[in-house]
Amino acid sequence: MEGFKIRLLLTVCIFLSIVNANRTVFINPNNPWQVFEGWGTSLCWWANMFGGFPDVRDKALDLVFDLNKGLGLNVIRYNIGGGDDPSHHHMRIGGNVPGFLPCKTCSYNWTSDANQRWVLFAAKERGADIFEAFSNSPPYWMTNSGCSSGGHLFSNNLNSNYYDAYADYLTEVVKWYKEQGLTFRTLEPFNEPTERYWKYFGYQEGCSYICSVMNIITKKVGEYLNKKGLSNETSISAFDEHIIDEEIYTESCIDNDAKSYIGQYNTHAYGGTQRMQLFNISKQDNKRLWMSELGLYSSKNMSTSINLSEAILNDMRNLKPVAWIYWQVIEHAPNGNDGNDWGLIGADFSNSTTSLDKRLSFYGFAQYTKFIRPGYQIISSNDNDTLAAFDANSKTLVLVCTNKKHISDVWKINVSMFNISSFTAFRTSNNNETLNLLPNIWNITGGILTYLSPANSITTWNFSLAIANFTQ
């Protein structure tokens, strides 16, 4: 056994000396990028289930929103349910998010959606502080198809008789929550409106729109926010397109009057290449920019964490959003199944005492969320697999480095611009490491941190600085 271990070690050493390349990285605080406001998640299906699970919901909420016990997410997208025709049964488990207005002549039912609401307020108690409300579909009775999962043949589904009713509905919900002590900073009337993904009898709420209708709805929602005295605190976010290039297209087809009501552009990042263009457009239009949705299939090994990290890096470095939001942090995965859903945590939505299976990707995401905190300044690093953030208040420098290669790599990180007094490092890897605190064995010599990064790993460095200033 010992002999085997030694042979193994020797093999590993020889292997490393052959394949190691030295990667040099320079961290430049004099080139600041975006000031970050947080990591987030959308509530919807998982919250619609977990809010009704008193035995496990606190534990689940700790894992997602509490900084000490879990990811510490602080940005929340709350789903204003439309509500489907009660005679329909085609939604995924958790997908039938209740609406507040069951029919045209009904009055608002504010006891509706108690589960998702419980999660919303429990997240707030745990530190969540940025809230967006968004809609996947108008109530079914406002739609052309009479179904809140979409139109026949993926068609435009908001009935033109209900444009005002829809704007009134969304803003009435925002107004009611404000009266309950929760202010939505943004209200998003659309979700992936151009993708043509939403169909009659589909498995979740969805609604397609053509551009001219989005233009009308944006103005109407803006006018209703004004009329109800909500627009000082709540602006419109739009358009939550599936793909970055689609988001650019939709923004270009909206008129300036509609744009004047928009405070924030939201894009999903399931595809598209024009990240820098969208950053530029948002800047020109003076809109805050969010990467408001991405979800990735889970895996038993580091594959999902590496892909998630590469997605975060690509977005944070090129799109430069101020918030980055994972789709469903918890997903339905009965029998401990891992690989068929997008959850960072797997659970059984049909079991109110379900166990919570933290996947490796939970830790992969935690490598970012627990360290790069709201208010941190993202700064430049000349390496596509490194994200750097600086906080003058707490005198902290954070580096998250991803080795996506299937071999280990020597990193030489130039941190000479910073006056470092101490640091800790954490790693998630295939080698049974789940945000493990690493022994403090690396010295910084001449401003260079030398680090042997294992294959398929993510490492976070948390540096305490002696002084908040850096070399100019």
Does residue 249 contact residue 267 with C-beta atoms inside 8 Å?
A: no
What is the Cα–Cα distance from 164 to 269, expressed in whole angstroms? 31
Residue closer to ligand NAG by CB (options 307, 337) is 307
What are the distances in angstroms from CA 103 to CA 142, 158, 219? Answer: 9, 15, 24
The packing angle between helices 57-65 and 114-125, to 10°, is 50
Who contacts 141 (Cβ-Cβ below 8 Å, separation ≥6)?
85, 103, 104
Residue 256 binds to ligand NAG (criterion: CB under 6 A): no
State the number of binding residues for ligand NAG (CB under 6 A). 40
Two tokens, residue 306: 């590496």
What is the Cα–Cα distance from 236 to 249, expressed in whole angstroms? 18
Question: Which residue from 59, 90, 98, 127 is in contact with ligand NAG, where contact means CB under 6 A?
Answer: 98
Residue closer to ligand NAG by CB (options 11, 351) is 351
CB of 351 to ligand NAG, least distance (A): 4
Who contacts 233 (Cβ-Cβ below 8 Å, separation ≥6)?
178, 183, 185
Question: Which residue from 32, 86, 375, 447 is in contact with ligand NAG, where contact means CB under 6 A?
Answer: 447
- Residue that has been written with the tokens 């699970």 in this structure: 53
Beta bridge partners of 427: 436, 459
Instruction: Give the footprint of ligand NAG on residues 275-294 (CB under 6 A).
Output: 276-277, 280
Instruction: Give the footprint of ligand NAG on residues 332-351 (CB under 6 A).
Output: 351
Work out the angle at residue 213's Cα, subtended by the Cα atoms of residues 212 and 214, and round it to the nearest 5 degrees. Answer: 90
Judged by CB under 6 A, the stretch of 5-13, 106-114, 194-202, 254-262 that binds ligand NAG is 106-114
CB of 376 to ligand NAG, least distance (A): 21
What is the Cα–Cα distance from 428 to 456, expressed in whole angstroms? 9
Query: Quick check: helix, strand or coil at residue 451?
Result: strand
Question: Which residue from 354, 381, 386, 403 is in contact with ligand NAG, where contact means CB under 6 A?
Answer: 354
Question: Which residue from 87, 160, 393, 443 is in contact with ligand NAG, where contact means CB under 6 A?
Answer: 443
Two tokens, residue 369: 């969320």
Residue 304 binds to ligand NAG (criterion: CB under 6 A): yes
Binding-site string for ligand NAG from residue 366 to residue 385, where x marks contact by CB under 6 A and - marks none: ------------------x-
Residue closer to ligand NAG by CB (options 105, 111) is 111
Per the document, the length of the chain is 472
Instruction: Give the footprint of ligand NAG on residues 407-436 (CB under 6 A).
Output: 410, 414, 416, 419, 430, 432
What are the distances in angstroms from CA 238 to CA 171, 173, 259, 439? Answer: 15, 18, 9, 45
Question: Which residue from 16, 33, 88, 112 is in contact with ligand NAG, where contact means CB under 6 A?
Answer: 112
CB of 160 to ligand NAG, least distance (A): 27
Does residue 465 contact residue 393 with C-beta atoms inside 8 Å?
A: no
Judged by CB under 6 A, the stretch of 123-131, 197-205, 216-224, 274-282 that binds ligand NAG is 274-282
Residue closer to ligand NAG by CB (options 196, 412) is 412
Judged by CB under 6 A, the stretch of 18-26, 75-83, 143-151, 190-198 that binds ligand NAG is 18-26
Task: For residue 162, give the DSSP letter.
Answer: G
CB of 285 to ligand NAG, least distance (A): 13
Binding-site string for ligand NAG from residue 25 to residue 54, where x marks contact by CB under 6 A and - marks none: -x----------------------------
Residue 50 phi, psi dihedral angles, 5° rounding? -65, -30
Residue by residue, what is the 3-state secondary structure of 164-203? HHHHHHHHHHHHHHHHCCCCCCEEECCCCCCCCCCECCCC
Residue 301 binds to ligand NAG (criterion: CB under 6 A): yes
Question: Which residue from 155, 159, 318, 436 is in contact with ligand NAG, where contact means CB under 6 A?
Answer: 318
Who contacts 436 (Cβ-Cβ below 8 Å, separation ≥6)?
426, 427, 428
Residues in touch with ligand NAG (CB under 6 A): 21-22, 26, 98, 102, 109, 111-112, 229, 232, 276-277, 280, 297, 299, 301-304, 306-307, 318, 351, 353-355, 384, 410, 414, 416, 419, 430, 432, 441, 443, 447-448, 456, 466-467
